[in-house]
Structure 1
Amino acid sequence: MVRSIDPNLINEHLGLLLKRDAYRVIQFLQWNRGEAITSKRILFYLQERRNRGLFLSTIKSDKNSILRGIRKSIIGQETYRGFIDELRQELNEALPIRLNATRVSEADLVTMDEMKRICRLSPPRWKALAEFFWTTGARVGDLSSIKLRDCRPLIEPSGEEILVEIKIVGKGNRTRFIAIPTELYQEIRHAFGGMVYLFETEWHNQMTTSKIGKIISKIGIKYLGRRIYPHLFRHTWITAQVKAGWDIGAIAEFAGNSPEIIARVYLHSSLDRKVISDYYKQLKVA
């Protein structure tokens, strides 16, 4: 069986990958410097990144993206039959990555006081990022992919521009529309000055999900004294809308989830356990 793969073969098929996978594969190929790709080379790369203190979730994403890149490049090639399965097994045995199951409780959510503290102390770009997550509950991938051409003002009958509608192409290439206050949109434009994307780096490149995650993590550590992450704002937003009494179907449509997922993943964080016991006690009332 073949024990290695030519990096040029992977490079030729990068266009078949999602942007986030292609980005991670390119990082690996640059590090690899043209050597034949084996399980040992991938292992060295992942171990080096682990030694740099990166999150285990990041290392796991790197590994999976590299494996997806290899799989895409050898589709239909009989020579590589069984190669990807053996490669995955070797990596899992040599560098097992087990992430603790996490369950978000209401105590983990970003409070209004914490959000006000972030707005008061953060530099403009950090503040605008946090405010967008807080206001929309968007996924980090949604935020990073928004183009200026997908944003348009919603004109009220009075002629006022109160909201800006944004087209989101989310998971599974499903399209939905969200809206943010015009004031927030203008704040983002002033802070980021994007030329193609709404959120761009100082060098006018598309912001990666990894960079956004690092910024949010720094915000939490520096201003809140705890670690936070982009998806925590999503939990916070959905929980707040449920508590406000909005229809779960409408929340699901805005958030880009099914009502079933909203109920299974997010509602637990606002359900007081006392409600369950009280509900049961009603059966005992004569």
Structure 2
Amino acid sequence: MNWEQALKDYGHYLRIERGLSANSLENYSLDVKKLILFLDSHDIKQSPLTITAEIVQQFVYEIAKDVNARSQARILSGLRGFFNYLIFEDYRKDNPMELIESPKIGRKLPDTLSQEDIDHLIAAIDLSTPEGERNRAMVETLYSCGLRVSELTALKISDLFFEEGFIKVTGKGDKQRFVPIAPVTQKLINIYRKEIRVHIKAQKGHEDILFLNRRGKQLTRAMIFTIIKRLAETTGLKKNISPHTFRHSFATHLLQNGADLRAIQQMLGHESITTTEVYMHVDRSQLAEIVHKYHPRNPEKQ
């Protein structure tokens, strides 16, 4: 088995057996392709079935010169998954990544915006243009529903259940969930639909997509990033923000206001509660206040 065939088979496995999205498939493939490029550039003739731990270690030393610890850890994790697949299919008996340690990295806490920051960003949107009404509805949806950028761009008109107060979101691995949507967000989406989108001729295959560009096609992830960056520049916001910042802020503000962590997990579409627990950092002082106010050992409670 050569690298091309192994990578192709691995892609089929990830898509069919694991149900991963196209973006996830691309990321996993890139990790393996980095190793293949290293082998080619050093004229190392080893197949996926014969490559040794020593060769992989050389690759690790090489990438350590160019990427940070977090990126290294992600690449190594991707390679472990690839070789575990080969073991699972009985192509190999061992994983050459087994004795290779990932670099130690701290857990990165998500950046967040205050409610005031978000209000300023939305208020800065130029509503004199058709794109302005669309952008206001998109930013409000990102924040009020805690969506990933890919979930926002893929949102369909048929996913809107406003009478019930929900939208249907298709997340990672094509897993679907229902997320509550606030009346104010519904209002802004309806304004965009009735005043702007109705005049856009949707291209074939994009008729049901909610947010369209001027040519009637689904917006790209890159376009959403650009819109957010320009808003930050317009308002003079010094924080380095992205569409994901609104998702982080959604979860953080819910937690600060007393929402249950399990409920936040469901709304974010996290498979594991551990992923959601990163938001527990947001306000340690608030946790201390809760203990001070409610714990029976507090002198004020006695």
TM class by shorter-chain length? 0.5 to 0.7
Match of 1:81 among 70, 86, 93: 93
Contact 2:264/2:276 (<8 A) preserved: no
Inter-partner Cα distance in structure 2 for 1:28 and 1:267: 31
| Secondary structure, counterpart of 2:189 in structure 1 | helix
Code of the aligned partner of 1:152: L
The corresponding residue for 2:254 is: 241
Does 2:186 match 1:181?
Answer: yes
1:46/1:89 CA distance change after superposition, 3 Å: same
1:110 Cα deviation after fit: 0.8
* 1:10-50 C-alpha deviation (Å, 9 max, x unpaired): 12331222233311244456664694565268548845862
| Residue 13 (str. 1) matches residue 2 (str. 2) | no
The Cα shift of 1:115 comes to 1.5
The two structures have a TM-score, normalised by structure 2, of: 0.59
Q: Does structure 1 conserve the Cα–Cα contact (< 8 Å) formed by 2:32 and 2:78? A: no
Q: Residues 266 and 27 (structure 1 numbering): CA distance in 2 closer, same or farther, change over 3 Å?
A: closer
**Which residue does 1:167 correspond to in 2?**
168
Change in Cα spacing, 1:43 to 1:272, as seen in structure 2 (3 Å) is closer
SS of match in other structure, 2:282: helix
In 1, distance between residues paired with 2:299 and 2:271? Answer: 35
- Please give the secondary structure, in 1, of the residue aligned with 2:177: strand
**For residues 175 and 103 of structure 1, do their structure 2 counterparts lie closer, same or farther at Cα, with a shift above 3 Å needed?**
same
Superposed CA deviations along residues 77-116 of structure 1, whole A, max 9, x for unmatched, are: 2x5111x2x23534x4xxx533222446xxx631123223
1:69 and 2:82 correspond: yes
Structure 1 residues 255 and 80: CA distance shift in structure 2, 3 A: closer
Cα 1:269–1:13 change in 2 (3 A) is: closer
Question: Equivalent residue for 1:118?
Answer: 121
Task: Tell me which residue corresponds to 2:141.
Answer: 132
User: Which amino acid is 2:92 matched to?
Assistant: Y
Q: Which residue identity is paired with 1:273?
A: A
> Which residue is equivalent to 1:101?
107
Alpha-carbon distance change, 186 to 97 in structure 1, aligned in 2, over 3 angstroms: farther
Gaps of 5+ in 2: 15-19, 41-46
Look up the match of 1:60.
Answer: 73
Partners of 1:199 and 1:207 within 8 A in 2:
no
Alpha-carbon separation, structure 1, partners of 2:78 and 2:214: 26
- The two structures, once aligned, show a CA RMSD in angstroms of 4.9
TM-score normalised by the chain length of structure 1? 0.61
2:162 is aligned with 1:154: yes
Taking structure 1 as reference, are residues 134 and 14 closer, same or farther at Cα in structure 2, changes over 3 Å only?
A: same
